[in-house]
Amino acid sequence: MVSQPTTLLNGRVKLSQSVDGLRASMDSVLLAHALSARTGETVLDMGCGSGAVGLCVNERLKDLNLNIYGVDVQDEMIDLALQNAIDNGIADRSVYKIGDIQNKHLFKAEAFDHIVMNPPYYKQGERLISPDQAREKAYTGDLNIWLSSALHWVRQGGSVCLIHRADKLGDILPVAQGRFGAIEIWPVHSAPTEPAIRVIIRMIRNRKTPLKLHSAIVLFDEQGQETSVSKSILRDGAGLI
């Protein structure tokens, strides 16, 4: 597989990505900024791809010496994630595994303090099937399966953070509620007058705190310039919480 180097977080994260496969995007960086953690805790990136989310989490919270885990069904992606961990100096506290996230035996129950995930944005039949099998696996999946495995692997009181299409919020909440509480939602807009394109969701296992809807994250102003909020998150590494 041919890879190409790039950087995230204003050059602080080095990332080799597949030239032809699915690539890390703004979504990966936004998701990483929803996580809050404590020193030495474990973070699992479900569907980790080349490891972008975990690397951004590590850079944001680098003083905490977090242990970063990743799982992906594609062995080529795991190879990239392993190399990226080396290039970013976290090989000694990172583990990447090839496997399907619906296989709950990949990890022990309640093995992780936190889980981050950017699950597929489409259900089977919602889009034309891509001839590229790697892209098809990344784009199409069952959100119920992803949340069920996350619930199995995260500890009591641990957090699950995800980013998804804004129009899927009505599908996500019925699945999440009853399993998770303290649900926090950040709508993401490309421009002030445009509808939300993404939602970032953070939730806690077995917590009863009511849902909280935060102010919108607007990425670009009316002139198409990056907003100060966008810069603070995507470039400076500011957390959402």
Mean pLDDT to the nearest integer, 39-49: 97
pLDDT at 16 > cutoff 90: yes
pLDDT: is 4 or 168 the higher one? Answer: 168
Q: What is the pLDDT of residues 168-200, one digit of tens each?
A: 999 999 989 888 999 999 999 999 999 999 999
- Beta bridge mates, 69: 44, 95
Enter the tokens of residue 234. 């995507």
The whole-number pLDDT of residue 121 equals 72
pLDDT tens digits, residue range 66-102?
999 999 999 999 999 999 999 999 999 999 999 999 9
Q: Does the structure show a pLDDT above 90 at 124?
A: no
69 or 135: which leads in pLDDT: 69
Q: How many Å is the Cα radius of gyration of the chain?
A: 17
- Under the banding of pLDDT at 50, 70 and 90, the label for residue 115 is very high
In this predicted structure, what is the pLDDT of residue 123?
61
Query: Between 17 and 161, whose confidence is greater?
Result: 161
State the amino acid at position 62 in one-letter form: K
Does residue 28 or residue 19 have the better pLDDT?
28
What does the angle CA 91 – CA 95 – CA 101 come to, to the nearest 5 degrees? 150
Give the Å distances, CA to CA, from 125 to 61, 121, 136, 175. Answer: 39, 12, 11, 20
Q: What is the pLDDT of residue 46?
A: 98
Query: Confidence band (pLDDT; 50, 70, 90) for 127?
Result: very low
Share of the chain above pLDDT 90, in %: 80
* Residues 237, 235: Cα–Cα separation, whole Å: 6
Tokens read off for 147? 């949340």
Burial of 33 (0-12, 13-18, 19+ CB in 10 A): buried
Alpha-carbon span 229 to 55, nearest angstrom: 21
Q: How many angstroms separate the Cα of 237 from the Cα of each of 11, 34, 36, 105, 147? A: 11, 11, 13, 34, 26
Query: Domain 26-234: what homologous superfamily?
Result: Vaccinia Virus protein VP39 (3.40.50.150)
Task: Name the packing angle between helices 169-176 and 143-153 (round to 10°).
Answer: 40
What local confidence, expressed as pLDDT, does residue 21 receive? 64
Domain ranges of the chain: 26-234
Q: Which residue has the higher pLDDT, 33 or 134?
A: 33
The predicted structure's pLDDT at residue 137: 53
